[in-house]
Amino acid sequence: MTEPDLPTVLVVDDEIRSQDAIRRTLDEDFHILCASDAVQARRQMEAQPVHVIVCDQRMPGLSGVAFLKEVRERWPDTVRIVISGYTDSEDIIAGINEAGIYQYILKPWVPDHLLVTVRNAVEARTLQHELHRLDLDLRAGAPVLRQRSQQTLARTRARFDFDRIERAPGSPLDAVCALAARIARYDLSALVLGESGTGKELLARALHYASPRAERPFVVENCAALTDGLLESELFGHKRGSFTGAYEDHVGLFQRAHGGTVFLDEIGETTPAFQVKLLRVLQEGEVRPVGAQRPLPVDVRIVAATHRALEEEVRAGRFREDLYYRIAGVTLTMPPLRERSGDIAPIARRLLGEVGVELGREGLELGDEALACLMAYPWPGNIRELRNEIARATALCDGGRIEARDLSPKVLHGQTGVAQARQGGLLPGSGTLQERLDAIEAMVLREVMLRHRWNKSRAARELGLSRVGLRAKLLRFGLEERAPRPGAAAAASGPAAGPGRVREDDADGDGDAAEAADPADPGTAAGHPIPGMLSP
């Protein structure tokens, strides 16, 4: 290796003897420059790149640590080492973070120790550069990576094409997909409205993969699933030690999605306090990880979704108007399946194919009578519920074709809502009107509380009640003391288990587990969900 190829180390010390001693220790492995004070050192650094600076703490003019602070600002790439006498160590420890010092070495220093420290410093710098280069390669697309990622991208794009959102010719979804496809290439935010299970996330993905951001990540966050603090840390990241349990730095989803799209599902469930923070991030284009000193620039497209009529939430003062206008650049509305029953046949066939592969029952057909039942049922849980039904029928089907007898009673007899709840023993079949209405009220309260994991503020907001009002109702129906431990999948029992009995094993509240349950099915529990009461 020729001299100029060696990493450059700048030694800053006003004592010429010390300078020489350091030079002799390092000059076999490094290209050494020397300076007697901060002024000379500055000049050296302005003239050429310096990999490592080894600086004495006691110098005329600026102290070592004070100069290294400046080095950190102006040449952050240079690894900083300080040498100090024992009596100066307190000053150094105080300044170690501000100057970003890699190592401090106490006098009298040992040559081998100094050599190893500087070697390690150079290695750390090289590694850091390597990481940076890889990151840039990934962003810019180094040739090989680019070629491979192009193939993967083409496959992913095809998988999430708007055409893969199954529908019948002339379906109302055509207009929704056409609008989404037209705006995909512009950096507009999009708000997807629609009941649960209508395909909002599927549409958001199609939008992302049809956009120029397709090569960058599409990340999803369900805003209803986390408390404000966790949501903030998930989306914006946090620094190690910023709160109890933050053992490591955590890169937030906004940073991970840099250049891509963030899909904020259930945005309507966020609290006003969180909405303020989100708005600031979107306005300023930068996130500040929890506990971090400085914000980081982020470039993401926001696609948000909610099952709520968000404009009404704004009018009612539950959702910030300024945030609404930020996220609702274009509004796309997914119609419920019951309003597009023509789509049921193609979607059911597609699902039959997918589920067949998953369950090892490929090639099943859908009988005419079974299809007629599927088309007559209103699907309150939309396509997610339809998928569960197809999976159940696939598992129960004896021959090569799904018949009406393979369907669950609710679909076979077209029962939903109150009729089904009564059949499942959830509603009394007799009693005064008030008693029956009470039973429904208790059932709704319990369902909403479960979905919000017993968070009263959120549940009250959804129900348009004050927290106190909600609490009074919970007490009245004996639901107040029964809040289960988070994650507990307890079967309902006790005084509230009558009218309000709802399965609790659907931990994420999206209705999956509930939709799969069926009293006539020997494989499921007796507690029967009420489709009309599932999370909308």
Ligand X SMILES: Nc1ncnc2c1ncn2[C@@H]1O[C@H](COP(=O)(O)OP(=O)(O)OP(=O)(O)O)[C@@H](O)[C@H]1O
Residues of this chain that interact with ligand X (CB under 6 A) are: 165-167, 194, 196-202, 265, 307, 347, 350, 383-384, 387, 510
Q: Could you write out the DSSP letters of every residue in 21-33?
A: HHHHHHTTTSEEE
Please report how close the Cβ of residue 382 comes to ligand X at its closest, in angstroms: 7
Q: Could you write out the DSSP letters of every residue in 254-283?
A: HHHTTTSEEEEETGGG--HHHHHHHHHHHH
Please report how close the Cβ of residue 330 comes to ligand X at its closest, in angstroms: 17
Q: Quick one: 165 or 184, whose CB is closer to ligand X? A: 165
Pick from 264, 267, 393: which is nearest to 319 by CA?
Answer: 267
Rounded distance, CA 388 to CA 355, Å? Answer: 9
User: Bridge partners of 191?
Assistant: 304, 331
Q: Quick one: 34 or 393, whose CB is closer to ligand X? A: 393
Instruction: Determine contact, residues 12/37, Cβ cutoff 8 Å.
Output: yes
Radius of gyration of the chain (CA): 32
Please report how close the Cβ of residue 155 comes to ligand X at its closest, in angstroms: 17
Please report how close the Cβ of residue 218 comes to ligand X at its closest, in angstroms: 13
Q: Quick one: 105 or 168, whose CB is closer to ligand X? A: 168
Q: Quick one: 371 or 419, whose CB is closer to ligand X? A: 371
Token pair recorded at residue 346 = 């193609």
Cα dihedral: 379, 385, 391, 396 (round 10): -50
Q: Quick one: 46 or 163, whose CB is closer to ligand X? A: 163
Number of Cβ within 10 Å of residue 297's Cβ equals: 10
Please report how close the Cβ of residue 521 comes to ligand X at its closest, in angstroms: 21
Please report how close the Cβ of residue 275 comes to ligand X at its closest, in angstroms: 19
Pick from 424, 401, 481, 494: which is nearest to 449 by CA?
Answer: 481
Q: Quick one: 33 or 193, whose CB is closer to ligand X? A: 193
Pick from 117, 55, 52: which is nearest to 88 by CA?
Answer: 55
Instruction: Determine contact, residues 23/32, Cβ cutoff 8 Å.
Output: yes
Token pair recorded at residue 152 = 């993967």
Please report how close the Cβ of residue 201 comes to ligand X at its closest, in angstroms: 3
Please report how close the Cβ of residue 331 comes to ligand X at its closest, in angstroms: 15
How many residues in total does the chain contain?
536
Shortest Cβ contact with ligand X: which residue? 199
Distance of CA 78 to the CA centre of its chain: 35
Rounded distance, CA 477 to CA 472, Å? Answer: 9
Q: List Cα–Cα distances, 262 to 235, 256, 304, 321, 362, in angstroms.
A: 9, 9, 8, 20, 35
User: Bridge partners of 8?
Assistant: 31
Q: Quick one: 200 or 301, whose CB is closer to ligand X? A: 200
Q: Quick one: 31 or 503, whose CB is closer to ligand X? A: 503
Q: Quick one: 166 or 232, whose CB is closer to ligand X? A: 166
Rounded distance, CA 30 to CA 314, Å? Answer: 65
Please report how close the Cβ of residue 77 comes to ligand X at its closest, in angstroms: 45
Please report how close the Cβ of residue 458 comes to ligand X at its closest, in angstroms: 16
Pick from 209, 228, 218, 224: which is nearest to 156 by CA?
Answer: 209
**Long-range own/partner contacts, residues 23-27 (CB < 8 A, 24 or more apart):** 25/111, 25/114, 25/115, 26/54, 26/114, 26/115, 26/118
